[in-house]
Amino acid sequence: MSEPLLQVSGLRTWFHTDDGIVRAVDGVSFAVERNRTLGVVGESGCGKSVTALSVLRLVKSPPGKLESGSMVLATDRGPIDLAELPQRGRRIRQIRGRDVSMIFQEPMRALTPVYTIGFQIEEALREHTAMNADEATAAAIEMLRAVGMPDAEQRMDTYPHQLSGGMRQRAMIAMALVCRPKLLIADEPTTALDVTIEAQILALLKRLQAQFHMAILFITHDLGVIAKMADTVMVMYLGQVMERAPVRDLFHDPRHPYTQALFRSIPSMAEEPKQRLAVIQGSVPHPLTHSAGCPFAPRCDHAGDRCAQKPPEFAVGADHTVACWLHESAP
């Protein structure tokens, strides 16, 4: 096995507020393999987006702070630990957009309303390449065509508000990929789109991944999207990793009680008509709440005394790990 493109170990990103500490990401470890997709799934507030923002050192400080951990990115210039780079330094700015790019859930918040689409795509080329103005314009038009933007040359002079939601998302993807990054972070990129446009964007990302040979860190709360996009899945809850497995293993044999509860809450065509949906009992604890044990224990039907201790990751299969004491004796 070659080294991972990105290896994150023991990542902790906390927010220091007047009321206490919010442990948004609390000891998360994962690897993103080259040309593969790691899906990150979990309820709102579980730390998915903060994990992504931490990788690019975009967590606002204060109140956010990267407390500990490493994030080693393999680059053409050798491995770089992103956690050691100054958040506003020159080196991390060079990495953003060139080695690692990000697309967001809401394009209107990511695209600048007072600049044209063409200007914003060319800006990345001006920052990271030696292209002249004509070359940058040609490259931007080529990328708009690659993402399926109709009338690409004419769209260069349009502003974000003049585009539909699907077109804005394509423009943002073009801006993220114009410098051919090795890793694309997609933070719920289809949540605000209707199902038809969502399917088009997912198919587009799959095609561009194969075309540009890039890895994807795909963040979503939708297990259906995970099934379409991911090679490996990481399930998060309250800033911690509950389960990690190849996508087929996770869908056919989920092992953590939280993962199992997520699957039970999905509507099924096989269910009887008017069947009530299963729900996860209880509610997500307040963000300021911190337990030394398993964070899901208060809502878990299998919780026992040992759940007051944080479980390690138990291997339950090839590349399949679960942070649950139920699997302490797993082979």
Give residue-wise pLDDT tens across range 86-98: 988 889 998 998 9
Is residue 299, in this structure, part of any structural domain at all? yes
The residue type of 86 is P
Mean pLDDT rounded to a whole number for the chain: 89
Q: Is 312 or 269 the better-scoring residue by pLDDT?
A: 312
CA distance linking residue 311 with residue 328, whole number of Å: 9
Domain that holds residue 276: 1-86+218-331
CA distance linking residue 286 with residue 310, whole number of Å: 18
The DSSP secondary-structure symbol of 265 reads: T
Contact 218, 301 (CB under 8 A): no
Q: First and final CA of the chain: distance in angstroms? A: 23
- What is the arithmetic mean of pLDDT over 257-269? 84
Q: What is the pTM of this model?
A: 0.91
Who contacts 216 (Cβ-Cβ below 8 Å, separation ≥6)? Answer: 36, 37, 38, 183, 184, 185, 186, 205, 209, 229
Cis bond upstream, residue 63 (ω within 30): yes
Helices (H), the chain: 48-55, 90-95, 107-110, 117-128, 133-146, 152-155, 165-177, 195-212, 223-229, 247-252, 257-264
CA 164, 169, 170, 174 dihedral sign is positive
- Among the ranges given (34-43, 149-158, 322-331), the one the predictor scored with the smallest mean pLDDT: 322-331
Chain segment 14-29, per-residue pLDDT in tens: 999 999 999 999 999 9
- Dihedral over alpha carbons 199, 209, 72, 316 (to 10 degrees): 60
CA distance linking residue 141 with residue 127, whole number of Å: 17
- Number of folded domains in the chain? 1
Query: Is pLDDT at 214 greater than 90 in this prediction?
Result: yes
Is residue 162, in this structure, part of any structural domain at all? no
Residue 184: how many other CB atoms lie within 10 Å: 23
Is residue 81, in this structure, part of any structural domain at all? yes
- What is the arithmetic mean of pLDDT over 63-81? 92
Chain segment 10-68, per-residue pLDDT in tens: 999 999 999 999 999 999 999 999 999 999 998 888 899 999 999 999 999 889 999 99
Q: Residue 270: which pLDDT band, with cuts at 50, 70 and 90?
A: low
Is residue 243, in this structure, part of any structural domain at all? yes
pLDDT of 269 reads 64
CA distance linking residue 179 with residue 171, whole number of Å: 14
Q: What angle do CA 235, 28, 9 make, to 5 degrees?
A: 130
CA distance linking residue 186 with residue 325, whole number of Å: 32
- Among the ranges given (100-114, 115-129, 210-224, 273-287), the one the predictor scored with the smallest mean pLDDT: 273-287
pLDDT of 9 reads 96
pLDDT of 88 reads 87
Closest CA to 42 of 21, 20, 24: 24
Percent of the chain past pLDDT 70, that is, above it, reads 96
Question: Helix, strand or coil for residue 35?
Answer: coil
Is residue 22, in this structure, part of any structural domain at all? yes
Q: Residue 331: which pLDDT band, with cuts at 50, 70 and 90?
A: low
- What is the arithmetic mean of pLDDT over 145-169? 89
pLDDT of 118 reads 93
Is residue 71, in this structure, part of any structural domain at all? yes
Query: Which domain CATH number covers 58?
Result: 3.40.50.300
